[in-house]
Structure 1
Amino acid sequence: MERRLAAILVADVVGYSHMIEVDEEGTLTSFKAIFEGMISPVFSQYHGRLVKLMGDGILAEFTSVVDAVQATVKIQETMAKHNSLLASNKQVTFRVGINHGDIVIDGEDIHGDVVNLAARLETLSLPGGMSISEKVYDEVRDRVDIRFCDQGIHQVKNIERPIHIWGWAPQACTSKQVTSERLQQTPPRGVSTPNTTPQPTDFGTKSDEAHDLFLRGRELLFGFQRDINVFERVIPLFRHAIALDENYSSPYAALGMAYVLNYINCWSGDPKTSLNQAKIYVREAIKRNENDAFAHYANSVVAMWKKDHESWAQAADRALELNPDFALALNSRGAVYIYSGAPLMGIPYIQRCIRLDQLETQQARHFLGTAYLILGEYETAAEVYKKRIKLNPTTDLTRAFLASVLGHMGEIEEAHTFWRELKDINPAYSFENHISKQPFKDPAEAKKITSGLRKAGLIA
């Protein structure tokens, strides 16, 4: 069979199945008009050939990887301008994967591992962006004025070897262009690096002991084990830190976080009282140090569970203003968008959060899965939720959301397996209690989760 070298582009529409479900005729008409009016002309401009359309999917080949990458940027920028004029439920957003190598020619069609990997790269792309193989990155990084982010090493389906992936999206790569070195991770303010040894005053306190108590409590609070025992251990640590230095803001913020977790999990006392206590402690933290990014992050979390979306966004923005690389604040800012009905805008924040801090922000994967759940991207949501469960084997909420996704997918037996695991972990688990607290701005989004569990026969 004939073979040739080519750059392969695979694209699909984010949330297409949900769009079809809501308005099949309008979605098909819109997709056709967009392809003919905005995408096909760009293919021609950059010497690309459409191989085939596959529902919402596009397969194209280019003679040059530079042309393929530049064509993608042109298309995504054009689509961003087009979407800015539309209501959120009418917007069409593409993910793109690009690979380069030897392809098999079959008439007008093409096949081969290069095509298969391009399709896998597309699933890992940020909405409105692209993911490229390391081979493509090596060929274009010095030839195009585009800022790529290191997406790390991935094991993808039906590809034996791990793949190093690079990505681009307008909101995701805002620093200088990344070379073959990994993204430089700016530590939260006051965290030691090999070249800096901060004194206690760098952390907002002159007391070594107070700071040590805060760090010990924070490590417990953000660990994988979250239960009444952890809550009862961290409260005295933070209060002792405050007793040693009552003007040290961070222990107040950490107390606020502890009481938020008590509210969510109903470990002790009246949940509503816990949330109000959390708000008081966070206000005290900010009063003592308005420039404490951790305090503003904690404030955003309190606003989240009070379902005050405006204050939630403002607090997260303030934390990021103080520390643009604060992973937890990126997580919170992305979650605002997700729970406010704009998951596509939230995904880049969550993805960046995960890249910056693989350990502390495993919860970010729950929010990322929820974004894809809302979009109706059930297979992607299931994959993300399963990764979160691997990182935190005792999570009950993520198992509940995963069971819902599997219900939507018709994977009933697997949904029951994860539900049984959930009940083994937390025999007293109440989905009704958990879902009622979720800060969805639109109740219809919460109903989507409930309907998935009903489809699986897990709730009445």
Structure 2
Amino acid sequence: MRPDTLPRKLAAILYADVAAYSRLTGKDEEGTHRQLSEYLDLISSKVEASQGRVVHYAGDAVLADFASVMSAIDCAIDIQEELADRNSLIPDDRRVQFRMGINLGDVIVDRDDIYGDGVNIAARLESLARPGGICVSGSVHEQVRKRTDLAFEDMGEHSVKNIDEPVRIYAIKTSKIATPEISPQKLSEKPTIAVLPFENRSADPEQEYFADGITEDVITALSYWRWFPVIAHNSTQAYKGKTGDVTAIGKELGARYLVQGSVRRSGDAVRVSVHLIDASNGHEVWAERYDRRMEDVFALQDEITERIVAGIEPRLHRAEENRAVLKRPNDLTAWDHILRAARAKAMGGRGYGTRESNDEARQHLERARELEPTSAETLARLAECEWHDAISGWAEDREAALSRTVEYARAAVAHDDGNWLAHTVLGIALLFGLNETKAAVKELKMSVSLNPSASAARHGLGCGLGFAGKPTEALPHLKMVFKLDPQYRNSAAALGDLGLSNFLLGNYDKSIQYLTEAATTQPDYVRSRQRLVASLEAAGRPGEARTELEKLKKIQPTLSLDYINTTYPFESDGDRERFINALRRAGLK
């Protein structure tokens, strides 16, 4: 071994973290910490007794390693079953429950700590476990699958950030250990998508690597959306260089939608073409072509992948909405209700909908929640509905609506910490509901890191940075919303946030330009019109500001400076005063 090479070892890695820790400490900080300390002592003693080693603690999380997979599993089961016994004596809303993930992998050892993909996968497994549950990787399952005293539930393949291939995941089942509420029937409700190998149509066979790279990156990036399963790369690779009937291929792969593409290069010019196809009937849902210069191959690959995925997802969602609309009411699944809720919101316009569309969406989401109580997607979208009620002036009790926003958002993250939408909504909830700007921006940045191709994640971060007093940082994210999805459903709201950031920077002409476009796009979206009044006044156009304010009052009769003060969570008092003073000068009271 070279002297500059860090030592490595094969280890069974156990990662454990407390589910919904923030919620628990919010209710009883001291009591939760005492209980956590007691449980961490138990875990330490169990790990040591199983010939394992606690590598480190990180707040409410524990990382341990074992020389044996058997030891790691037996230890995890022992811990979870004893904790289940102790928690049975405690009220449900006070229970400290750990989720656990176990992986077998190669790790780097440095200063008594361990690093690498093996650890990252264990942490991802933990996030997919139920509170009180244990998830293991396919490599762990392979070592112990013949043990007759163990039962496993196959959860399918899942993507792991920065890991090329999806990871097969299994949940351990015992009488006391919680397993994910996933059944083949529920999984089949959502559309599966397969990305076929992109075809190299260049004269140069060496460009094959670029086509393969695009294929793999698109598969990985699509998996970050999480609301639809993506067929693994090793399954679709069998179709490389082959042609066939798309309907037959869809049936063979069990995919409702197929992505096909090609790469053609001539000199420094490269053209990437992509098609989204409904495999049930062979119809093309969407197609696009990207022409670029081949300068930095990896940067180009990243950019094209991001644009392709951002183009596919909204079309896929709309195609599924159309499918759900045609179903009979008695045949609707939880997923169908989520789709109908999205359709209702979209029918309300390109702001945040109308009071009626919001109420209709909430009714579908409540029904979806009855069918699947632990769906992070449903909880996140319910949080959105409550937030839209609060900031649009529709809620009879604004504070109660904001409180429900926070409650739903925290529950969404607790049920699926890897769901980008859950983190987006939690960030917005913390910002508008609790005025916790730093924590909000942290959640919103997490959302973008989980899914850089999501326009809504970019929008959320841009909004949060603007209110955090960082409008210069906000603008690139807000502009990226429209680069990723020119038909973005909440375009009036995103334009409104572009207008606000420019207002804060003193760019009043640009602010007025964006806000006028927002008002044209969605005339009854009050948030952009509020900012338009302030921008016109600040730009020295008081007559136009007063005219615009009169129009706004007809749409929002209850508008007041108190409403503005409570629904615009500026971190900077200077930003708040400048915005409110502009509205006051325009005549708002």
Letter in 2 for 1:271: R
Match of 2:361 in 1: 234
**How far apart, in 2, do the equivalents of 1:314 and 1:367 lie?**
19
Which residue does 1:323 correspond to in 2?
451
| Equivalent of residue 263 in structure 1, options 376, 381, 390 | 390
Match of 1:37 in 2: none
Shift of 1:313: 1.6
SS at match of 1:192: helix
CA distance in 2, matches of 1:442, 1:191: 39
Aligned residues: 287
Partners of 1:368 and 1:384 within 8 A in 2: yes
Q: Structure 1 residues 248, 208: CA separation in 2 closer, same or farther (over 3 Å shift)?
A: farther
Q: Which residue of 2 aligns with 1:310?
A: 438
8 A Cα contact 1:231 1:258, kept in partner:
yes
Select between 382-391 and 274-283 the one with higher mean Cα deviation: 274-283
User: Given that residues 303 and 312 in structure 1 are in contact (C-alpha distance below 8 angstroms), is that contact kept between their aligned partners in structure 2?
Assistant: yes
2:215 counterpart of 1:215: no
- 1:396 CA displacement: 2.0
The structure-2 alpha-carbon separation of the partners of 1:187 and 1:320, relative to structure 1 and needing over 3 Å to count, comes to: farther
* Structure 1 position 391 matched with structure 2 position 521: yes
The structure with higher relative contact order (CA 8 Å, sep 6+) is 1
Is there any run of 5+ residues in structure 2 with no aligned partner, and where? 1-266, 270-290, 293-297, 325-330
2:551 to 417, 421, 426: 421
Q: Which entry has the higher C-alpha Rg, 1 or 2?
A: 2
The offset of 1:298, in angstroms, is 1.3
Summarize the Cα distance change of 1:252–1:183 in structure 2 as closer, same or farther, 3 Å threshold.
Answer: closer
2:462 pairs, out of 317, 320, 334, with 334
Quick one: which amino acid aligns to residue 319 of structure 1? Answer: S
Does residue 381 of structure 2 align to residue 254 of structure 1? yes
Matched letter for residue 363 of structure 2: P
AA at the equivalent of 1:298: V
Name the CA distance, whole Å, in 2 between partners of 1:421 and 1:453. 14
Q: Which amino acid aligns with 2:499?
A: G
TM-score by length of 1: 0.55
2:392, 2:527 within 8 Å by CA — same for their partners in 1? no
Cα distance, 1:269–1:403 mapped onto 2, change above 3 Å: closer
Q: List per-residue Cα deviations over 1:397-447 (Å, max 9, x = no partner).
A: 222211221112222222122112112222222243123320110021021
Match of 1:348 among 476, 480, 483: 476
Percent identity between the aligned chains?
Answer: 18
Is the contact made by 1:400 and 1:431 (CA closer than 8 Å) also made in structure 2? no
Of the three residues 393, 418, 421, the one matched with 1:294 is 421
- Distance in 1 between residues matched to 2:524 and 2:366, nearest whole Å: 28
Change (3 A) 1:310 1:191: farther
Structure 1 residues 420, 321: closer, same or farther in 2, change over 3 A?
same
Q: Is the 2:478–2:494 Cα contact (8 Å) retained in structure 1?
A: yes
Amino acid at match of 2:464: V
Query: Residues 441 and 229 from structure 1, CA distance in 2 versus in 1: closer, same or farther, beyond 3 angstroms?
Result: same
1:244 positional shift: 1.6
C-alpha separation between the residues in 2 aligned to 1:411 and 1:241?
49
- Alpha-carbon shift at residue 187 of structure 1 (Å): 5.3
Alpha-carbon distance in structure 1 between the residues aligned to 2:506 and 2:557:
29
TM-score of the two chains, using structure 2 as the length reference: 0.44
Deviation at 1:380, TM superposition (A): 0.8
Using the TM superposition, give the Cα deviation of residue 325 of structure 1 relative to its aligned residue in structure 2, in angstroms: 0.7
- The change in CA–CA distance for 1:188 and 1:307 in structure 2 (over 3 A counts) is farther
Contact persistence 1:327–1:361 (CA under 8 A): no
Contact 1:228 1:268 (C-alpha < 8 Å) held by counterparts: no
How far residue 182 of structure 1 moved from its aligned partner, in angstroms, is 11
What is residue 365 of structure 1 aligned with on the other side? 495
Q: CA separation in 1, counterparts of 2:419 and 2:306?
A: 28
Q: Distance in 2 between matches of 1:327 and 1:368?
A: 14
Corresponding residue of 1:273: 400
Contact map agreement 1:286 1:292 (CA 8 A) in 2 = yes
Secondary structure in 1 matching 2:559: coil
CA distance in 1, matches of 2:306, 2:453: 15
String of CA shifts for 1:36-79, please: whole Å, max 9, x gaps.
Answer: xxxxxxxxxxxxxxxxxxxxxxxxxxxxxxxxxxxxxxxxxxxx
1:250–1:372: structure 2 CA closer, same or farther, 3 Å change rule?
same
Letter in 1 for 2:336: D
Q: Quick one: distance in 2 between partners of 1:190 and 1:396? A: 25
Contact 2:519 2:528 in 1 (8 A): yes
Q: Which amino acid aligns with 1:325?
A: S
Matched-pair contact (CA < 8 Å) for 2:475–2:498: yes
Q: Which residue does the alignment assign to 1:100? A: none
Decide which of 507, 511, 514 is 1:381's aligned counterpart. 511
Query: How far apart are the structure 1 equivalents of 2:430 and 2:312?
Result: 22
1:448/1:276 CA distance change after superposition, 3 Å: same
What are the Cα deviations for residues 313-360 of structure 1, in whole angstroms up to 9, with x where unaligned? 222122222211111110111122211111111100000012222331
